[in-house]
Amino acid sequence: MQERENILRILKETLEAMKRGDALVINSLSNQTINTASLSQDPDNIAVAVVVYSLGKIIERQKYQEFKGWKEFYKVVMNAVSYSIKDLESGKDNRIGEDLESITKEIGKLSGKLRDYIQDVFRKASINKASKIYDHGISMEKTAKLLGITLYELASYAGQARMDDVPLENTFDVRRRIKTAMEMFG
């Protein structure tokens, strides 16, 4: 695992923020994982990035805590993060993927709306993190494959994100666009 100490720090801080219900801190920690995930393209680093981001979004949506199955899901999440920390501390980096996979398995055991909501959060988190990795210069195809999403999902999200990044005050009025086009083809 690349940048093991950084990932260990992020997981420890995520665990503490989960205990406090501090989604803002978790989302900030998620952003710190993306550089490592982009550079290393290591599946474990990517899994940490997606899981931490998802947990931030899940904690942010407090209504989820009212659904049947929340307590069991929360317990599994806390255990998975704790086991990941212990495995990293003891040099068993190869087990972190299994630890985090237990969260996905638990989602499958949930029922009703909670399962649907949490699956949706994890899917959107994968797409979001894929877009961030793509922003770091990794090919769209490789990024989609690393995160288990389709090229279409990534392209749609990345294209939408790019359009949202363009400030409206930097666009040209109609006359200027026509003038520019006439100069180009003129």
- Say what the pTM is: 0.77
C-alpha 39/C-alpha 162 separation (Å) is 21
Length of the chain: 186
C-alpha 54/C-alpha 71 separation (Å) is 17
What pLDDT, on a 0 to 100 scale, did the predictor assign at position 162?
A: 47
What pLDDT, on a 0 to 100 scale, did the predictor assign at position 2?
A: 66
Q: Cβ–Cβ contacts within 10 Å for residue 62, how many?
A: 10
**65 burial class (0-12, 13-18, 19+ CB within 10 angstroms)?**
middle
What is the residue type of 55? L
What pLDDT, on a 0 to 100 scale, did the predictor assign at position 186?
A: 65
What pLDDT, on a 0 to 100 scale, did the predictor assign at position 30?
A: 86
**Contact predicate 129/50, CB 8 Å:** yes
Ordered DSSP codes for 79-140: HHHHHHHHHHHTT-GGGHHHHHHHHHHHHHH--HHHHHHHHHHHHHHHHHHHHHHHHTT--H
C-alpha 50/C-alpha 129 separation (Å) is 7
Mean pLDDT per 10-residue segment, the chain (186 residues): 84 96 92 79 85 93 92 94 95 89 88 91 89 84 83 79 49 74 75
What pLDDT, on a 0 to 100 scale, did the predictor assign at position 164?
A: 45
Helix axes 43-60, 4-20, angle to 10 degrees: 10
Residue boundaries of the structural domains of the chain = 4-185
